[in-house]
């Protein structure tokens, strides 16, 4: 077993002298204002989201988005800055991934995201033979309406066929204003 050699007393003293000389960096003018804080809890209990109403936040209902951006967004012409593929996830694990993914993307100032849920393969008794339902596909709109995520999201809509069609969603995040 290879072990790293431990520093001797002389090395320890030199290290302490170096640490004592470190001074905090001065803030430049453009960073003097801190970014507005958002309340982001690291973990949202999954059990609390089951009673939320599903809502696809369509661009037609959004007053905060200009017509040109809305059109580009729906047509899949905005650059996708983050992708999350939920294939193979359980419902609970997918919820945790989605909430973490959206919060992280927002904090990284990303704007347009793609979440791939898959089209699903569950068929209900009274359905047409070609109809299929996916749990994650049905739950994602409900998750986007969660009080922790809703303030971060400007709009969402089903993706274009090139990006996954009805088995994927575009998410447009709000910009952080200083």
Residue 70 predicted with pLDDT over 70: yes
Is residue 65 within 8 A of residue 172, CB to CB? The reply is: yes
The confidence score (pLDDT) of residue 80 equals 94
Query: What single DSSP character describes residue 168?
Result: E
Claim: this prediction has a pTM higher than 0.75: no
Q: Higher model confidence: residue 103 or residue 135?
A: 103
Highest mean pLDDT among 32-46, 50-64, 115-129: 115-129
pLDDT band with cut points at 50, 70 and 90 for residue 16: confident
Q: What is the mean pLDDT of residues 109-113?
A: 94
CA dist., res. 45 & res. 101, Å (int) = 16
pLDDT grade for 138, boundaries at 50, 70 and 90:
confident
Which one has a higher pLDDT value, 176 or 150?
150
Distance CA 113, CA 157 (A): 11
Q: For the residues 3-7, what does the mean pLDDT come to? A: 66
Contact predicate 73/155, CB 8 Å: yes
Tell which wins on pLDDT, 117 or 33. 117
pLDDT of residue 102: 95
Hey, which bits of the chain come out as E strands?
A: 82-85, 112-116, 153-158, 168-173
Mean pLDDT score, 112-130: 72
Q: Is 127's pLDDT higher than 80?
A: no
pLDDT per position as a tens digit, 156-167 = 999 999 998 888
């Amino acid at each position: 077993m290879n072990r790293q050699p431990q520093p001797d007393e002389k090395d320890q003293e030199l290290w302490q002298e170096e640490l004592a000389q470190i001074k905090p960096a001065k803030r430049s003018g453009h960073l003097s204002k801190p970014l507005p804080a958002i309340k982001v809890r690291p973990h949202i209990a999954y059990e609390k989201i089951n009673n939320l109403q599903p809502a696809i936040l369509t661009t037609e209902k959004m007053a905060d988005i200009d017509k040109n951006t809305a059109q580009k967004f729906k047509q899949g012409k905005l650059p996708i800055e983050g992708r999350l593929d939920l294939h193979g996830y359980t419902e609970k694990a997918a919820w945790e991934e989605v909430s973490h993914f959206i919060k992280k993307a927002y904090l990284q100032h990303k704007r347009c995201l793609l979440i791939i849920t898959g089209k699903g393969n569950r068929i209900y008794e009274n359905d047409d033979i070609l109809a299929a339902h996916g749990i994650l596909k049905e739950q994602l709109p409900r998750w986007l309406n969660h009080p922790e995520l809703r303030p971060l999201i400007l709009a969402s809509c089903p993706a274009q066929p090139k990006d996954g069609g009805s088995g994927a969603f575009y998410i447009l995040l709000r910009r952080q204003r200083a």
